[in-house]
Amino acid sequence: MKLPAFLRLSPEITPYVLLSPFAILFFVFGMFPLVFSLYLAFQSWEPTSGLSAMQFVGFDNFVFSLQDEWFWKSLKNTAWLAVASGVPQHLVAIPLAVFIHTSFKRLRNGVVGAYFLPYITSTVAIAIMFSSLFSTDYGVVNTALHALFGGENIDWLGQPENIKPAIAMIVFWRYLGFNVVLYLAALQTIPKDLYEAATMDGAGRLQQFFYITLPSLKPMIYFGVTLSVIGGLQLFEEPFILTGGRGGSDQSGMTTAIYLYRMAFDFNDFGAASAMSWLLFFLVVILTYLTNQAFKPRNAGG
């Protein structure tokens, strides 16, 4: 089926045509909010007064944010949570994926499915589940810990120092399966002959893991870690539902994203919230760039 000549695209303009639907949508729905939020960062605005109530305040919002104790507290919380929930995810997902890849044939889909289910579960359900599971006196978590290690029941949701680990556990639970799936997929593309050759050369399983598997997974690790960095820095849902939207005692569960939300909708200070979101943005850009640099292939050929 050949199109008439005037409708056929040349290779030069094809990319623009292909990109146009995305670009149009992006421009209409993505640009305006970006510009609006940038504009708002320089205004003082209490939303319920209406749009006309905006007042230009220059860099005041940025200065305020950078001097705000709670902003820095939230950044620390976010960093802690991003690392504490992100690192174990990948450290566990890789060996787990390797294990599933090599040891499960028939049950593979079932096992992967079990690990993937948390990703699908809705946040409403998670909120109720985990409040119940992390309950101090009767929660399953404490019961299990008590049975295994004895000792007193941990007040997960009431004590500031316990909220962060609780949140980290939930995030880990939620995204482990997602990363397992990523790595499992990558594992399937590593040629088997590499392993066979290594076995013939006398390399043990552990050596093969470190010298063949890991390097081959590097691109997927880059992809997964980038997603985890971005996701971790923007962590909102899990701490939000676990602390009832407030960030917990002593704001120990308050990530920057939650603080932004509260600034905007609870404390009605949209200007400062916008300024903070841009500060967070720059932080994420820097960190993503650093991640990029860390994973950049040192020599051509990967």
Partner 1 sequence: MGQQQQVRVSGRALWRVRLLVWGIVGLAPFPAAAQQQLTVAAYPAVDKIVEAAIPAWKKLHPHVAIKVVSRQFADHHTAMTTALSTRFYLPDVMALEVGYVGRFAQGGGLEDLVKPPYNIRSVQAQFVPYALAQATARTGAIVAVPTDIGPGTLLVRTDVLAKAGVSEAELTKSWESYVAAGVKIKQGTGAYLMAHARDMKNILIRTGIQPGEGLYFDKDSKVLVTSPRFVRAFELAREVRRNKLDARVSEWSNEWSEGFKRGTLATQLTGAWLAGHLNNWLAPGTAGKWRALQLPEGAFAAYGGTFLAIPRGAPAANKPLAWEFIKLLTLDRELQLQAFKSQDAFPALLSSYDDPFFEQPIAFLGGQAARVQWREATQRIVAVSVHKQDAFAGEVIDTELDKVLDQGKDIPTALADAARLLAKRANR
Partner 2 sequence: MNSNRLAPWAAYVIVGVGALIMLAPFYFMFVFATQSRTEIFSLPPPMWFGDDFFNNLKILTERIPFWRNLGWSLYVAVANTALTLLFCSMGGYAFGCFDFRYKNALFAFVMATMLLPSFMNMIPTFMIMDALGWIDQPRALYIPGAASAFGIFLMRQFVTTSIPKDLIEAARMDGCSELGIYWRIVLPLLKPALGTLGLITFIASWNNFIGPLIVMRSPENYTLPLALRSLQSPVDTEWGALMTGSAIATIPLVVLFMLSSRQLISGLTAGAVK
Contacts with partner 1 by CB under 8 A lie at 44, 46-51, 53, 64, 67-69, 131-132, 135-138, 155, 157-160, 245-246, 249-251, 265-270, 272
- The partner in contact with residue 295, picked from partner 2, partner 1, none with C-beta cut-offs of 5 to 8 angstroms by kind, is none
Q: How far is the CB of 17 from partner 1 (least distance, A)?
A: 35
- Does the protein bind partner 2 through residue 34 (CB under 8 A)? yes
Cα 262 from Cα 268, distance rounded (Å): 8
Assess 21 for contact with partner 2 (CB under 8 A).
yes
Best CA proximity match to 173, nearest among 227, 206, 129: 129
Which residues between 148 and 207 bind partner 2 (CB under 8 A)?
Answer: 173, 176-177, 181-182, 184-186, 188-190, 205
Nearer to partner 1, 181 or 272 (CB): 272
* Interacting partner of 11 out of partner 2, partner 1, none (Cβ under 5 to 8 A depending on kind): partner 2
**Number of other CB atoms surrounding residue 15 within 10 Å:** 10
Residue 275 CA from chain centroid, whole number: 22
Q: Could you tell me which of 101, 93, 111 has the C-alpha nearest to residue 195?
A: 101
Q: Residue 260: which residues within 8 A CB-CB, separation 6 or more?
A: 273, 276, 277, 280
- d(CA 142, CA 154) in angstroms, rounded, equals 7
Under rule CB under 8 A, residue 37 binds partner 2 = yes
Q: Which is nearer to partner 1, 128 or 197 (CB)?
A: 128
- Residue 284 touches partner 2, criterion: CB under 8 A: yes
